[in-house]
């Protein structure tokens, strides 16, 4: 990236400090658009909406798996963030810096950002990318290609040189969870609470760039091990289909 591009990102983040509603408006617009697109596509499909968007219960999920999936998603995100900081790539992200700056703005703005950036965005993005897009791609190309295709689109539409690769990798995990359980319930839960944790840390914890390199090296090592451990555990999760409900006599 050219030096003038870095200066443009710095100028944008400075502008967001005085007008944080710009980022809030962008999050609101993208979240609502994704929700409308998913629901519209689901309604137009001949398949019932709940089944088309994978809102059925799917396979039974043990209680520990909800926690493990959330930990796996968050540790994966933190590991990639630490890599971006350690390599200097963090300097080239506009959207992640913008979200950090906006999170530190007035509480009313933060509350709106929190609602649309967690509950609405997490639900809408899963309904569209994992529910609508991935379901269709899996039907055409198979599971691996369907997950990869949906995750790639998910990453591209974040429109940021750093945020997009992070979103792509997160999309692979969320897509795998959707296929593993046959439902969007676990991916939506993970996405919403991962975003919630990230926003809260952005507001109340030290900025990621303020942490020394040694801390990021430690975070990278610990989070990588935690992610591998949780994914390994989830692979052993009982994935048997639910028992059929027998009709009465």
Give the model's pLDDT for residue 78. Answer: 96
Nearest to 176 by CA among 238, 235, 240: 235
Give the model's pLDDT for residue 14. Answer: 54
Nearest to 136 by CA among 119, 118, 149, 152: 149
In this structure, what are the phi and psi dihedrals at residue 184, rounded to the nearest 5 degrees? -90, 0
Give the model's pLDDT for residue 21. Answer: 76
Q: Tens digits of per-residue pLDDT, 123-142? A: 999 999 999 999 999 999 99
Give the model's pLDDT for residue 221. Answer: 97
Q: Tens digits of per-residue pLDDT, 203-248? A: 999 888 889 999 999 999 999 999 999 999 999 876 544 444 334 3
Q: Tens digits of per-residue pLDDT, 160-189? A: 899 999 999 999 999 999 999 999 999 999
Q: Tens digits of per-residue pLDDT, 73-113? A: 999 999 999 999 999 999 888 888 888 888 888 899 899 99
Percent of the chain with pLDDT over 90: 62
pTM assigned to the model: 0.87
Q: What stretches of the chain show up as alpha helix (H) in DSSP?
A: 3-18, 21-44, 49-52, 63-87, 95-103, 107-114, 121-125, 134-141, 143-156, 163-181, 185-204, 213-235
């Amino acid at each position: 990236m050219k030096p003038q591009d870095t200066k443009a990102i710095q100028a944008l983040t400075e502008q967001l400090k005085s007008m944080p509603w710009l980022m809030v408006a962008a999050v609101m617009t993208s979240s609502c658009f994704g929700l409308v697109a998913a629901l519209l596509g689901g309604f137009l499909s001949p398949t019932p909406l709940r089944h088309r968007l994978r809102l059925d219960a799917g396979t039974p999920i043990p209680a520990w798996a909800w926690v493990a999936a959330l930990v796996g998603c968050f540790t994966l995100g933190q590991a990639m963030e630490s890599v971006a900081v350690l390599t200097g790539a963090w300097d080239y992200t506009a959207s992640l810096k913008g979200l950090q700056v906006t999170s530190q703005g007035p509480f009313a703005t933060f509350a709106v950002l929190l609602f649309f950036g967690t509950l609405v965005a997490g639900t809408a993005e899963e309904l569209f990318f994992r529910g609508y897009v991935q379901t269709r791609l899996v039907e055409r190309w198979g599971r691996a290609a369907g997950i990869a295709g949906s995750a790639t689109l998910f990453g591209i539409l974040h429109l940021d040189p750093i945020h997009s690769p992070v979103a792509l990798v997160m999309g692979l995990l969320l897509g795998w969870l959707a296929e593993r359980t046959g439902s969007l319930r676990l991916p939506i839960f993970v996405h919403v609470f991962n975003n919630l944790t990230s926003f809260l840390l952005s507001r109340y914890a030290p900025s990621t760039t303020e942490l020394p390199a040694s801390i990021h090296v430690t975070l990278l090592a610990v989070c990588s091990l935690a992610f591998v451990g949780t994914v390994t555990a989830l692979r052993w999760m009982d994935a048997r289909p639910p028992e059929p409900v027998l009709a009465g006599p």
